[in-house]
Amino acid sequence: MHQSDMSIAEHSQIQSDLLIINQCNKNNYEEKNNGIYCSRMISTTERGLSRSRNMALKNAVGDICLICDDDELLDKEYREKILKAFEEHPQADILAFIVSVSNTDYDTKKYKDHVIKLNYFSSLKISSCQIAFRRKSVINKSILFDESVGSGVSKAGGEENIFLHDCLKNGLQALYVPVHIGYVSQEVSQWSHNLFTQAFFEDRGRFTKKLWGRHIFATAYAFFYTIKKYPKYKHKTTFTVALFSTLKGIFIEQ
């Protein structure tokens, strides 16, 4: 957000065509071409992470797209690694890669060392910065990010997980591959202040309802999530508050 120029390309070590969605206080379009790669920036007064993702998806032109945020540092050979992975898995429409957390104050994911076919449950572990996809596969199924979730409209995020679920529902193939492509820095932010509050759990419930509906799977997932995350939120609230706030988000209309 609020980029004054395209220097983020250098900061993130981008070595490919680039489309920046710059949510700021103006509407504008810029384009630069260095003879090898083309960088474009769409500045917009619209707000919301899912809206940003959708604007990028609608204006992308590459065969393979990588979702990237402004706090990432990509490996120097990320482009070759991604293209090789898609060549090795021609049946895959979506690949999830390894992106390490550079800030050691945050927990890092424990990545598997083998390829995994993603399903409705395992896709919940995937973060947006891991995702690359074949653009035509997504466009041909008219799949977009749900603009009622994600940063800017929801405290619980989850827009990438709903996106992956929609892809799976539409018959697309998604794999996790043990290939490292970069680092992401997760500094203390407004997001961390909202994490594990009562409002967060209510939004998590609404996110859960979008995935599973109002039935036993949603309730079971509410129990699973609040039990699994208890060590991380016990200093903020009780298990009972977390569970009932999540269930409230599932079963009570906003």
Phi, psi of 10 (to 5 degrees): -70, -40
Contact 51, 151 (CB under 8 A): no
Burial of 131 (0-12, 13-18, 19+ CB in 10 A): buried
Closest alpha carbon to 164 in 191, 140, 138, 184: 138
In angstroms, rounded to a whole number, what is the distance separating the alpha carbons of residues 171 and 180? 26
Residue 187's pLDDT is 59
In angstroms, rounded to a whole number, what is the distance separating the alpha carbons of residues 23 and 13? 21
Locate 253 and state its tokens. Answer: 């209309």
Residue 66's pLDDT is 97
Residue 8's pLDDT is 85
| Amino acid letter, residue 140 | N
Residue 189's pLDDT is 47
Q: ∠ CA 241-247-252 to the nearest 5 degrees? A: 120
Residues recorded for the chain? 254
Residue 186's pLDDT is 67
DSSP3 helix / strand / coil % (the chain, rounded to 5) = 40, 20, 40
Strands 174-184, 94-101: pairing is parallel
At a CB cut-off of 8 Å and minimum separation 6, what does 136 contact? Answer: 63
Residue 128's pLDDT is 93
Contact 74, 68 (CB under 8 A): yes
In angstroms, rounded to a whole number, what is the distance separating the alpha carbons of residues 23 and 43? 6
Phi, psi of 157 (to 5 degrees): 60, -145
Residue 9's pLDDT is 82
Mean pLDDT for back-to-back runs of 10 residues, the chain (254 residues): 78 92 93 92 92 95 92 93 98 97 66 96 94 98 90 76 96 98 72 78 91 87 95 94 95 77
Give this prediction's pTM: 0.89
**pLDDT, tens digit, 9 for 90 and up, residues 9-32:** 888 989 999 999 999 999 999 999
Strands 94-101, 131-134: pairing is antiparallel
Closest alpha carbon to 160 in 114, 88, 211, 105: 211
**pLDDT, tens digit, 9 for 90 and up, residues 38-74:** 999 999 999 988 999 999 999 999 999 999 988 889 9
In angstroms, rounded to a whole number, what is the distance separating the alpha carbons of residues 32 and 18? 10
